[in-house]
Amino acid sequence: MNHVIIIGGGLSGLTCAYYLSQKKYKVTLIEASPKFGGRTYSLINDEFNDIYDNGQHVMMGCYYETLKLIADLGNRDKVEIQKSLEIPFVHEDGKTIYLKSPKLFYPLNLAAAMMNFKLFSFKERLKIIDFLTDILFSADKDICDLSVIEWLMEKNQDEESIRKFWEILIVGTMNTTAEKASAQVFKKVLSEVFFSSSKSSSMVIPQIGLSELFIEPILNSLKNSGNCFSNTERLISLIVDQNRVVKITTNKNEYHNFDDIILSIPPHALEKIDIKNIKGELLITDFQMAMREIKYSPILNAHFWLKKNPFTEKFYSLIDSEIHWLFNHGSYISLTTSAAEYSIEKERKEIFIEFCSELEKYFPIFNSEMVIDYKIIKEKRATIIPDCTSVKLRNNIFSPFENMKFAGDWTITDLPGTIESAILSGRKASDSFA
Ligand SMILES: Cc1cc2nc3c(=O)[nH]c(=O)nc-3n(C[C@H](O)[C@H](O)[C@H](O)COP(=O)(O)OP(=O)(O)OC[C@H]3O[C@@H](n4cnc5c(N)ncnc54)[C@H](O)[C@@H]3O)c2cc1C
């Protein structure tokens, strides 16, 4: 039986381990931190006995690999998928305007949703639809060197629609600004969200924590199939001979008996691995050099426990606010700021006070005295920045060794660094084995 060692127990490594074990490969999964799940994990607020996630993860109907994995793990009934697109956009004055697709044939329903989206003038709405339809006909090569802002300007999008619509979509899906984001990746995102199926733009809302949704069932499945996983075990070095990895050293073990290795760790972690030949000489690899050029963007999440919850919708998108999303979990709400370079440097108390006054502005039904507890989670390297440089790097990063492969949200998936990209990469890595 072939033995595959997978380094990194985030969603990409876990997915790869799961599908390889289903194919009866012998798998060893090695994770550096005490917990599995990487950038997706759940915590518990003991005082209220509530499970909450490190960050509210926005998922959509176009997360095909993710939804397949959820179904394979037997958790399909643990996620709610909107019947059709419906997003409440909230204005500073408390007014809510819905982007809602009516019961029409797809994709006519999307055009109708946009036409009814009263946030913009009739002319602006037509321009947005025109831009969206243009995506179907524009070639990647024409936009590969453009940032999203350059592309939007080229396509005559108004400042108002960029600020109130496109920015929200870009920051929410790519975790960076229109100035930095690559037009090519954004085109892929728009094609997936708006034009891949009738349900692709629906929001997917997990009813349980991410650990219960993904991590626990995968670890259980690995255990039941007799496979090994180990935490607090960090890969330190790889020894290479005749173009193959022949030895793996971690802080706990040395591994010689394996056939293949999959590195499912982020670029900044890959950079730190020592790669040596059998004489012990350090090798300088192109892929590690390339990793240094990848940049990251932070995400800030605040979870507020409420003595009285005044919110009626399951989630809201806030226009022109430091808070991009509010997700309503009943006893608590989760607030997300993507591309949070500025906010992340602030003290937790300061963030709490600012978020409270922002919510009071946007939701007259809310007042800060309703908050009885809060947690603030800062993730400095939440995702890579999908800029033009990273697109070129990602498309040109290949493993130099015969028995070594990569997985991870940063690999060649054409998608921004997302759950879908991580799971797709893990599945693709497993598919490369017979
Ligand atoms: C706060 C936050 C909010 C997010 N919001 C969204 C969202 O709304 N929608 C969405 O789709 N995505 C979102 N993402 C992104 C998503 O979480 C990631 O894209 C995905 O989890 C990446 O999975 P991965 O397996 O590629 O990497 P990781 O999760 O980073 O996993 C890599 C693992 O490798 C381990 N590791 C590193 N070095 C070593 C070593 N030397 N030896 C052994 N193990 C090692 C790490 O500890 C880690 O567990 C968000 C991320 C964050 C942080």
What burial letters (b/e) apply to 83-93, b meaning 16+ CB within 10 Å? ebbbbbbbbee
Q: Is residue 181 part of a domain?
A: yes
**Mean pLDDT in the chain?**
94
Residue with the nearest Cα to atom 49 of ligand 1? 38
pTM across the whole model = 0.96
CA of 217 from ligand 1 middle (Å) equals: 18
Residues 404 and 356 in one domain: no
pLDDT at res. 122: 86
Residues 186 and 231 in one domain: no
274 lines ligand 1 (CB under 6 A): no
Residues 191 and 120 in one domain: yes
The ligand 1 atom at the shortest distance from the C-alpha of residue 15 is 25
CA of 425 from ligand 1 middle (Å) equals: 12
d(CA 319, CA 324): 7
188 lines ligand 1 (CB under 6 A): no
Q: Is residue 240 part of a domain?
A: yes
What residues make up the domain containing 134?
101-197
At 298, give phi and psi (nearest 5°): -85, 160
Q: Is residue 204 part of a domain?
A: no
55 lines ligand 1 (CB under 6 A): yes
First to last CA, the chain: 12
The number of C-alpha atoms within 13 Å of 148 and in the hemisphere containing its C-beta is: 27
418 lines ligand 1 (CB under 6 A): yes
382 lines ligand 1 (CB under 6 A): yes
Helix (H, G, I), strand (E, B) or coil at 6: strand
Mutate to test the pocket of ligand 1, among 56, 57, 59, 301 (most ligand atoms within 8 A of CB): 57
Q: Is residue 368 part of a domain?
A: yes
Give the domain-ending residue among 176, 197, 218: 197
The ligand 1 atom at the shortest distance from the C-alpha of residue 30 is 43
Cα-based distances in Å from 206 to 53, 54, 66, 80: 11, 14, 12, 6
Residues 253 and 396 in one domain: yes
Mutate to test the pocket of ligand 1, among 14, 15, 39 (most ligand atoms within 8 A of CB): 39
Say which residues have a Cβ less than 8 Å from residue 332's Cβ, sequence separation at least 6. 45, 48, 50, 52, 303, 304, 305, 306
Residues 303 and 174 in one domain: no
Q: Is residue 177 part of a domain?
A: yes
Residue with the nearest Cα to atom 1 of ligand 1? 55
Tokens of 390: 């990273």
Say which residues have a Cβ less than 8 Å from residue 88's Cβ, sequence separation at least 6. 96, 97, 98, 313, 315, 316, 317
Q: Is residue 187 part of a domain?
A: yes
CATH of the domain at 350: 3.90.660.10
Tokens of 41: 């994990």
At CA 312, angle to CA 306 and CA 316, rounded to 5? 90
Residues 362 and 411 in one domain: no
Q: Is residue 88 part of a domain?
A: no
192 lines ligand 1 (CB under 6 A): no
The pLDDT profile of the chain, 434 residues, written as one tens digit per residue, is 799 999 999 999 999 999 999 999 999 999 999 999 999 999 999 999 999 999 999 999 999 999 999 999 999 999 999 988 899 999 998 999 998 887 766 666 777 788 888 888 888 888 888 888 888 787 888 898 999 999 999 998 988 889 888 988 899 999 999 999 999 999 999 999 888 888 898 999 999 999 999 999 999 999 999 999 999 999 999 999 999 999 999 999 999 999 999 999 999 999 999 999 999 999 989 999 999 999 999 999 999 999 999 999 999 999 999 999 999 999 999 999 999 999 999 999 999 999 999 999 999 999 999 999 999 999 999 999 999 999 999 988 889 999 999 999 999 999 999 999 999 999 999 999 98
Residue corresponding to tokens 């400095």: 380
Residues 174 and 133 in one domain: yes
Residues 276 and 393 in one domain: yes
265 lines ligand 1 (CB under 6 A): yes
CA of 58 from ligand 1 middle (Å) equals: 14
CATH of the domain at 227: 3.50.50.60
What domain count does the chain have? 3
Residue with the nearest Cα to atom 37 of ligand 1? 265
Residues 275 and 412 in one domain: yes
Residue with the nearest Cα to atom 19 of ligand 1? 418
Residues 367 and 407 in one domain: no
CA of 294 from ligand 1 middle (Å) equals: 15
Residue with the nearest Cα to atom 41 of ligand 1? 235
pLDDT at res. 104: 62
Residues 338 and 396 in one domain: no
Q: Is residue 89 part of a domain?
A: no
Residues 189 and 213 in one domain: no
pLDDT at res. 160: 85
d(CA 301, CA 338): 9
